[in-house]
Structure 1
């Protein structure tokens, strides 16, 4: 009967086990030296993106990080976050740039109207033109545009059998006709508004509404794109139409083109997120606390992943929702941003 060499088998098993342990321990170094699954360098590893992020103009303490972060957040909200995310190349839009102003005036039928550019310390450069029936405002440095048309006569109500798809199609067609690229946007929803004097109020019933809103949001990898925006939902383009499909209003946040997917990068772990919060490595981008009141403390409640446009790239960031308290004791929701890639 042939004998089995148990000693030889044991030696081979121990050798394979040792190799496995070595690879697990030094996988990054081995991969790089053998050029196997080589890890890409994070292009913003030495860049602090937070100083470039625009803050909500309601924040009186811009540039002042002396806000207490209350360490009472529920880290279980962090557990469902992805462990890695890709980056994308991103081409900034020039739609609202100074060199395109005259074209935009002509596009909206507001050409040959005298105008005077304004320069504001917070808003930056802006221009506004009006001909009595329509008006257009462009905030170049903020990347925002708002167009509105005066309503003539009494608007009609929508019916109970109104098909929102008709108005969505009209909105898309109109946006294409004025040169707004929707390739980085996805349809979000439609909403109805009643009109009482100069005010518009959202209503759930089309039979009480005279305006329908068609909303598109900028997305990459199904996540919000934040570029020229302080809204945690990301950049938007919004169109208001009346029952006869006439354009009443357009709001647009300048959004570029999403390019190719670059490398996939590891995102911060729960511990790294918590440490970053405790160290104040985040920035307020929006708050609904009373205007002009300084925020004294904020309590983190939840967070989600989004993309922020910088240096020709879409970079993963975390958007954190919090409840803030001002110096007078008033409270309100606040949204903060922090880098998501593990450095």
Structure 2
């Protein structure tokens, strides 16, 4: 529990998650949903990478390691800076509010300006096919995760945090139902969606259901309290490195999906729905959205394009 009515003792312990609660309570009045979602997401990144510790148990070395995890995950310099700015504010508020004697470990971390263009490259189609072929041959849980992402465009955390029950393989149209879970929230409101499974992603989903005993699709990275997407990112990016050009990371599959959807002339509104991207169109908020057969039709075209020479 947080201290009440300013009663702070020498033994007062405030964890990062409690600091977030305090931040929302004191600064959340009148703020929109983005304020809450983004701060929750940034704190979740820290907890996934470093754990939920008392504020005085984080060190500057921990903060530097966290920075490196974010870059390894594929975040741009501007995104890393935005993450640290939010974490600094959250921690600072509780340090000041409760008169804690510790320093803010996230206050002085250096964030280099990298060439972020190279961090967001799509994976060339010939490289993508090679990766998918290798995933089928290797046929283990790490390759299932890559394969599942490769033809679905899911974010890494979205896929790694799935339950097997989220994969609707007994439906007329096999699909993934992406929704928030206690161990893994979604990045935006638009991220909650259904994705028809095709190609290598469909193969991966079948292998997961056939071979995984846990209720979680990827128990190596996920349990009832946590989805460790940072660990997944580091492991998968290391494995992918020999297969892809410099600048391509696991997140590059999303950029490839967008390019492939463009190549088959998918309407931008449908592409936004499939990828969980925020649309600039006001009209997209009207009506009930697209039926699964419509979404599957465009994913099938994407699959056919990927298989063509």
Return the TM-score normalized by structure 1: 0.21
Greater share of strand residues, 1 or 2? 1
Which of these two proteins has the greater Rg computed from alpha carbons?
1
Return the TM-score normalized by structure 2: 0.23
